[in-house]
Each structure stands twice: as structure tokens, then as C-alpha cells.
């Protein structure tokens, strides 16, 4: 699976690969010191346009039904790797500079190019990301499910299921201002 650009310029090529030659070094990305080779791990090959190729093994969330992929971000030198629902944001020229996203499992990566943001979506929450050094806020938009996501301008629109109301409610999130609006109180 090759890099999904989502409307962002990427100064690198990246793809999920089936294997990495034994003679090639491989960086390991995980959220704990305990490392085991698992089927949930995703192998990625990254080649910066002005740099050296590297390979990474990204520990997955252990939820094999969740998506994997490699996505461009607003920063042309940062990639978002999704390993069975576990997201990583990695500087492609200095992979030691990376973030392991605490929101798990991520089910979608939605681009909002006009706001220079990607929004990581779980089944109940959204996490907008605009770059390293910017502290993103996790927003709850549902109690059990998100659907009908689309971006328009600087906004993300969708519906979240609220169990206490037993119905879907509309929400919007403005990635420029950070304001979340909904047709009903979510919490």
C-alpha cells in the first residue's frame, strides 16, 4: 500500500511492504519496551526525496480488523503510519523524532488541507494534528460510533451515535479554530 497524499505535498515516498531484507536495518516503533514480532506489526519503507531510505516496523494495536496505511500530513517531512489502528507520526528525515498517538484504535485519517490538519478518528473521538510542538486536544463526538465524515473548507462534518438519546447527532469541527459544535450536548 503506497502513501496516501490526501491533498498534502510530501517530500518523501513511503509504502507498506511485505518484507524487509535481513541484511537491511529496521527501526522499531512501539508503545512499550516489550517487543515481539507479531502479525499486527506493519513494515514500512520510507525514502525522503533528499535523504536516505529507512525501514520501520510499527507495532499494531492487536486489532487486526482495524486499518493500516501510510498518510501524508500538513508537514511535508512527517508521515502518519497507521498499524491496525495504532497511529504514529514520524519525521521522515529523523525517525527518532516521532509521536505514538495515545488515541486507539484509529479507524480513519481525514485530511483537511485548507486548515493544514489531519484528523485521526476513533469510534468515539477525533484528534486533530497540525504538527509537532502543537498540543492536540482529543474531542469526544460520540458514545458509540462515528459516520458520514467529510471535510469541507476548514471543517470536518459527521454524525456521532449518542446511546443516551438512542440516535445519531450531527457535529462539526473547525480545524482552524478548534471549535466543536453539535446538534445535542455530547457529554
Contact 70, 14 (CB under 8 A): yes
Distance (Å, rounded) from C-alpha 164 to C-alpha 161?
A: 9
**What's the whole-number average pLDDT of the chain?**
92
At residue 135, the pLDDT reads 74
Buried-exposed string 115-150: b where 16+ CB fall within 10 A, e elsewhere: bbbbbbbbbbbbbbbbeeeeebeebebbeeebeebe
At residue 174, the pLDDT reads 97
Share of the chain above pLDDT 70, in %: 95
On the question of pLDDT at 93 being above 90, the answer is yes
Q: How confident is the model at residue 30 (pLDDT cuts 50, 70, 90)?
A: confident
**Residues 31-52, mean pLDDT to the nearest whole number:** 80
| Bigger pLDDT: 185 vs 142 | 142
pTM of the model: 0.92
Residue with cell 503506497: 2
**Tens of pLDDT along 8-28?**
999 999 999 999 888 889 999
**Tens of pLDDT along 130-171?**
988 777 899 999 999 999 999 999 999 999 999 999 999 999
Q: How confident is the model at residue 35 (pLDDT cuts 50, 70, 90)?
A: low
> The C-alpha cell of 113 is what?
488541507
At residue 36, the pLDDT reads 57
**Residues 95-110, mean pLDDT to the nearest whole number:** 94
3-state secondary structure of 176: coil
Amino acid at each position: 500500500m503506497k502513501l496516501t497524499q490526501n491533498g498534502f505535498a510530501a517530500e518523501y515516498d513511503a509504502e507498506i511492504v511485505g518484507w524487509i531484507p535481513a541484511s537491511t536495518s529496521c527501526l522499531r516503533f512501539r508503545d512499550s519496551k516489550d517487543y515481539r514480532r507479531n502479525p499486527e506489526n506493519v513494515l514500512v519503507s520510507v525514502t525522503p526525496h533528499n535523504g536516505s531510505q529507512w525501514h520501520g516496523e510499527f507495532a499494531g494495536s492487536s486489532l487486526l480488523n482495524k486499518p493500516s496505511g501510510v498518510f501524508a500530513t500538513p508537514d511535508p517531512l512527517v508521515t502518519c503510519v497507521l498499524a491496525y489502528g495504532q497511529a504514529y507520526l514520524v519525521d521522515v528525515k529523523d525517525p527518532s523524532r516521532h509521536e505514538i498517538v495515545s488515541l486507539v484504535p484509529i479507524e480513519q485519517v481525514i485530511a483537511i488541507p485548507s486548515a493544514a490538519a489531519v484528523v485521526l478518528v476513533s469510534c468515539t473521538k477525533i484528534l486533530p494534528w497540525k504538527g509537532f510542538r502543537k498540543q492536540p486536544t482529543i474531542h469526544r463526538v460520540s458514545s458509540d460510533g462515528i459516520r458520514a465524515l467529510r471535510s469541507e473548507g476548514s471543517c470536518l462534518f459527521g454524525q456521532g451515535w449518542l446511546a443516551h438519546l438512542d440516535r445519531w447527532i450531527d457535529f462539526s469541527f473547525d480545524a482552524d479554530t478548534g471549535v466543536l459544535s453539535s446538534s445535542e450536548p455530547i457529554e
